[in-house]
């Protein structure tokens, strides 16, 4: 019998690739979108292979009753629905409320459905270090970081990073208070996610950031400081994130794990060159390490050069 996966935020930049992967693997896929009337945000999903097994629902995570209705017939549920935005006027209403309250609602909803097999959170490197792409306090740009390191958070960090960190703490607390749940929970924490979008939307932060770096555009002081200081970024391919998510969702014995998803690190001007299909001036470094994801999830992360060339193709 065909299994059902529910993907909160399954039409976004990362979510679309996760949706594609589960459709390809023969799942019944339910995707939630925040506004069902904005069909341009999810229409591209119906072009995917096996899209006859796709169902789109419109609701916000703040609506607990509809969320429960969405979850009740799922075998696997994936939360990829937190807002990713860097230009913020009101951090509380735009980021903290939907990210943290949404996660709390989601946890309350899943705890009522013991038939679930797996719950996956798409977290962020910010759940490990809110200073990203800058180093965590006490580290230099060349110091490596993996899942054995202590998580670092600062109130001086970008509100988006703080919101992701706090949401992840809510998940960790839930796991600690529920040591023997009927389903497994685990998280994946991607670094800077890059690659080609499956949709033609122009309001995605991830693809927008690639566009800015490719064209040397600085719309604000935050981006300008990244250029001025030639900040190094750890990068991961969006398709590798989807494959890791699928693997985490379909493998047993991973409860409570939180995997860093990362490939190589390059300085921003080398990322600019590669987005324009030129050679980087410096060699790649490994700063954020991916050994645990490679071992447990069986993922081979593609080189950043390949990812950035794909974006422009």
* Per-residue pLDDT reduced to its tens digit, 78-125: 999 765 555 666 656 666 676 788 888 899 999 999 899 999 999 999
Residue 252: phi and psi, rounded to 5, are -90, 160
Task: State the average pLDDT over residues 28-55.
Answer: 93
Q: Which of 113, 36, 128, 26 is nearest to 77 (CA)?
A: 113
Task: State the average pLDDT over residues 20-27.
Answer: 98
Q: Is the model's pLDDT at 34 over the cut of 90? A: no
Task: State the average pLDDT over residues 292-297.
Answer: 98
pLDDT band at 39 (very low <50, low <70, confident <90, very high): confident
d(CA 214, CA 80) in angstroms, rounded, equals 26
- What's the pLDDT score for residue 124? 92
- DSSP assignment letter at 133: T
d(CA 96, CA 163) in angstroms, rounded, equals 5
Q: Is the model's pLDDT at 202 over the cut of 70? A: no
Residue 237: which H helix or E strand, with range? strand 232-237
Task: State the average pLDDT over residues 39-67.
Answer: 92
Which of 157-161, 163-167, 306-310 is the least confident region?
Answer: 157-161
d(CA 159, CA 266) in angstroms, rounded, equals 24
β-strand pairing of 28-33 with 4-8 = parallel
Q: Is the model's pLDDT at 216 over the cut of 90? A: yes
In sequence order, which residues have a C-beta less than 8 Å from that of residue 239 and are 6 or more positions away? 17, 195, 302
Q: Is the model's pLDDT at 248 over the cut of 80? A: yes
Q: What is the CA radius of gyration of the chain?
A: 18
- What's the pLDDT score for residue 183? 95
β-strand pairing of 265-267 with 232-237 = antiparallel
- What's the pLDDT score for residue 87? 61
pLDDT digits (tens, 9 = 90+) for 12-23: 999 999 999 999
- What's the pLDDT score for residue 47? 95
* Cβ proximity of 304 and 235 under 8 Å: yes
* Cβ proximity of 288 and 146 under 8 Å: yes
pLDDT digits (tens, 9 = 90+) for 171-199: 999 999 988 889 999 999 999 999 998 98
What is the percentage of the chain residues whose pLDDT exceeds 90? Answer: 73
d(CA 259, CA 264) in angstroms, rounded, equals 16
pLDDT band at 245 (very low <50, low <70, confident <90, very high): very high
d(CA 152, CA 312) in angstroms, rounded, equals 34
Q: What is the mean pLDDT of the chain?
A: 91
204 or 136: which carries more pLDDT confidence? 136
- What's the pLDDT score for residue 308? 94
DSSP SS3 for 244: helix
- Say which CATH architecture domain 4-312 belongs to: 3-Layer(aba) Sandwich (3.40)
Residue 241: which H helix or E strand, with range? helix 238-250
* Cβ proximity of 45 and 16 under 8 Å: yes
- What's the pLDDT score for residue 117? 96
Task: State the average pLDDT over residues 258-281.
Answer: 97
pLDDT band at 271 (very low <50, low <70, confident <90, very high): very high
- What's the pLDDT score for residue 83? 57
Tokens for 281? 């001036």
The half-sphere exposure of 241 on its side-chain side, counting CA atoms within 13 A, is: 32
> Which position has the token pair 């890059």?
194
* Cβ proximity of 106 and 8 under 8 Å: yes
> Domain map of the chain by residue range?
4-312
For the beta sheet containing 184-190, the strands, ordered from the edge strand earlier in sequence to the opposite edge, are: 54-58, 28-33, 4-8, 76-79, 118-122, 184-190, 258-261
pLDDT band at 133 (very low <50, low <70, confident <90, very high): very high
């Amino acid at each position: 019998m065909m299994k059902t996966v529910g993907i909160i935020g399954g039409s976004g930049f990362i979510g679309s690739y996760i949706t594609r992967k589960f459709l390809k693997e023969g799942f019944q896929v339910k995707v939630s979108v925040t506004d069902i009337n904005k069909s341009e945000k999810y229409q591209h999903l119906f072009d995917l292979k096996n899209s006859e097994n796709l169902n789109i629902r419109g609701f916000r995570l703040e609506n607990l009753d509809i969320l429960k209705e969405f979850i009740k017939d799922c075998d696997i549920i994936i939360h990829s629905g937190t807002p990713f935005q860097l230009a913020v006027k009101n951090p509380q209403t735009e980021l903290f409320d939907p990210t943290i309250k949404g996660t709390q609602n989601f946890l309350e909803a899943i705890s009522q459905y013991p038939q679930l097999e797996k719950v996956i959170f798409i977290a962020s490197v910010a759940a490990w270090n809110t200073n990203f792409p800058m180093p965590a306090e006490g580290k230099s740009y060349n110091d490596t970081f993996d899942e054995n390191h202590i998580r670092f958070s600062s109130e001086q960090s970008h509100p988006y990073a703080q919101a992701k960190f706090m949401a992840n703490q809510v998940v960790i607390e839930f796991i600690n208070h529920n040591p023997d749940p009927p389903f497994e929970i685990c998280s994946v924490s991607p670094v800077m996610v890059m690659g080609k979008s499956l949709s033609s939307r122009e309001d995605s932060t991830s693809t927008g950031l690639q566009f800015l770096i490719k064209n040397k555009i600085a719309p604000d002081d935050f981006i300008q400081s990244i250029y001025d200081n030639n900040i190094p970024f750890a990068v991961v391919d969006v398709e590798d994130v989807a494959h890791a998510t699928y693997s985490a969702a379909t493998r047993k014995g991973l409860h409570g794990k939180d995997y860093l998803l990362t490939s190589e690190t390059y300085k921003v001007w080398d990322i600019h060159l590669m987005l324009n299909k030129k050679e980087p001036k410096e060699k790649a470094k490994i700063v954020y390490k991916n050994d645990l994801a490679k071992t447990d999830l069986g993922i081979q992360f593609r080189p950043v050069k390949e990812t950035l060339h794909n974006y422009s193709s």
